[in-house]
Amino acid sequence: MRNIPNFLASVLITACTTMTLPATSASAAVLRHKVSAALVCPQPPREQRAKVIVQFNPVRAASLDWLIGSLGGVVTRRLNALNMRALELPQSAVAALSVHRAVKFISPDLPIASTGHVETTTGTADARVQTTQSVPLLGGVSLSTTTVYDGSGIGIAMVDSGIDANHAAFRDQLGLTRVAINRDFTNENRTDDVYGHGTHVASIAAGNNQVANGAYTGIAPNAKLINLRVLNSQGLGATSNLLAALDWILTNHDVYNIRVVNMSIGATAVDSYLDDPVCEAVRQVTGAGIVVVAAAGNNGKDVNGQKIYGQIHSPGIEPSAITVGAANSFGTDTRGDDTVTTYSSRGPTRSFTTDGNGLRKYDNVLKPDLVAPGNKIVGAAAAGNYLLAAHPELEANAGANDADRMMYLSGSSMSAPIAAGAAALLLQVNPNLTPSLIKAILMFTAQPLPGSNTFEQGAGEINIEGALRLARLIRSDLSASTLLGAPLLTSAAPTRETTISGQTFAWSSGIVCNHALAVSDELITRYQAVYEQGLILGDGVLETPDGQSIDTSRMTGGVSLEVSAVTSDGGTIGEGMPFLNLSFLLGSGMLPDGIAVGDGIMVGDGIMVGDGIMVGDSTLGGTAGDDTACMR
């Protein structure tokens, strides 16, 4: 454990256990392949029963309920759309269940927890209203049409602690609530927001201009909200809650036109995204044409204030998701002083698979994908919520009544809904945009922040003005039959720069692709096959243990790969001081500043509620095999 900070070393040393390995090496290999490392530990279990998530291979999960019962298990949730089950069963039965050929992977039902003047600084206000001139009429008179991009008609599912649907921020122009439906997955049988996190998050994505004279308008202020409550009154939940919400989305998304899902929540990320049940669910949701946005987490530094890497949380580790870190705008509209916050979780992802020999293969996915303002954001305060009651200093003094009260919160939880609202605007512009194309647009138009490296900011800070300007030029007739290399735009490519509050900056002009950074104007001028629904941007890169190259069957030949992650100089992707050769991501090792990416060390998201105040950070702390991370 050389070069590992004391904090990380102590966590590794105190790792504990939940399940005894079988005696034979063959059965041990099966466990390593099909059972989460958080369940497979070298000492006997401390408790008799385990709460787990079971993913099944292509077979009707209901047909295996008899097997679960025969092992003494009880099905606690049937996730039919996802082909999964949440179970409670004897610890000793986990091994027996894993050997069944229909079982794909078994994970612990881990706890989850939650991880604003945003309209101007993101460029949204500059691009919200667009006027198009028509052909001149007789007498030199011409007609013009005005379009307001406010998320109208788009459904955003907020998977969080609930929404206070009575808050003025969620009313439409007739004074009616825009919360289209409420569902509870916590078994508390309520959908309001006792905790206070979900209401704040929802208002950043879709709060209106009816509070404080519009000072805290959200990104998509006329979008519909779908309230899916997975965190309870203490701001805590379980993986099975989250899976149940995603299962519901897959079944009902057409009814409510759910095109975007926001998850400002996280769980410890131990298992590879290939095995993690939440990541699998996210892949299915994006495959259905729904954009999924996830918070990166708030663990960019340890208890001593040292910068650390590898702390991205699930579902932020999933390549198909748009993973968003937190930027600090210092309360100004101009972007010249913006930087990545010290607490925003850095990549690469350190979830892993274990082969038959017990060797770990780390995912090392480049995350986050981008950053958005997340420090001291003003958003809606749910009536009587816990966070504001416990921390009255968070009061924003924007309204005197419960219906228009506002509060400050900080964290990547606040950054994610900015991207979710942006996705809703892009879909209003062009409903045929796929999740991967929306992700590419947001990254290509992002602003690389000087002084921050790729593992901290991805492609850079979100630029909604540029994203909307680009989206308006993209063809609306794209489909699975569109040929690779076909024209992507209806006119000439836009200028690759944006001006916000008098400051002009260059776009990143590149995208993050799993372990690579792809650059080229062809990413926005020619159709890339990876924009097809069901594919992800990383599918366009071929990988070997020695390097990476463009897959010319999925991306055009003019697209190239950067060889290094850089500490940006504020220019496009690839410009700045080389930080780490990207070939590192195909293996594992130490980062060049001597701080280790801790093997499997993941700590709870927590909620940044103010300067130096972290709520919930110790709730989920630990590593694979630790008391708090292993299923209890």
- Return the structure tokens found at 255: 């009814």
265 close to 230: Cβ distance less than 8 angstroms: yes
Question: Of these residues, 413, 436, 452, 568, which one is catalytic?
Answer: 413
603 close to 622: Cβ distance less than 8 angstroms: yes
Eight-state DSSP code of residue 4: -
Distance CA 314, CA 294 (A): 8
Instruction: Examine the residue annotation and report whether 100 is marked as an active-site residue of this protein.
Output: no
Question: Of these residues, 167, 197, 200, 253, which one is catalytic?
Answer: 197
Say whether the peptide bond before residue 578 is cis (omega within 30 degrees of 0).
no
Distance CA 446, CA 466 (A): 8
Instruction: Examine the residue annotation and report whether 197 is marked as an active-site residue of this protein.
Output: yes
Q: Which residues pair with 263 in a beta bridge?
A: 294
C-alpha distances (whole Å) from 172 to each of 130, 202, 550 are: 21, 14, 47
Distance CA 226, CA 241 (A): 16
- Return the structure tokens found at 579: 């930080």
- Return the structure tokens found at 488: 């992507």
Question: Of these residues, 160, 164, 184, 363, which one is catalytic?
Answer: 160
Distance CA 435, CA 441 (A): 10
Question: Rounded to the nearest 5 degrees, what angle is found at the Cα of 471, between the Cα atoms of 434 and 223?
Answer: 75
333 close to 501: Cβ distance less than 8 angstroms: yes
Distance CA 128, CA 126 (A): 6
Eight-state DSSP code of residue 345: -
Burial string for 590-610 (b: 16+ CB within 10 Å, else e) reads: ebeeebbbbbbbbbbbbbbbb
Q: Which residues pair with 378 in a beta bridge?
A: 408
Distance CA 224, CA 60 (A): 34
Nearest CA to 568 out of 467, 464, 456, 463 is that of 456
C-alpha distances (whole Å) from 131 to each of 149, 198, 508, 617 are: 11, 34, 27, 47
Say whether the peptide bond before residue 348 is cis (omega within 30 degrees of 0).
yes
Active site residues: 160, 197, 413
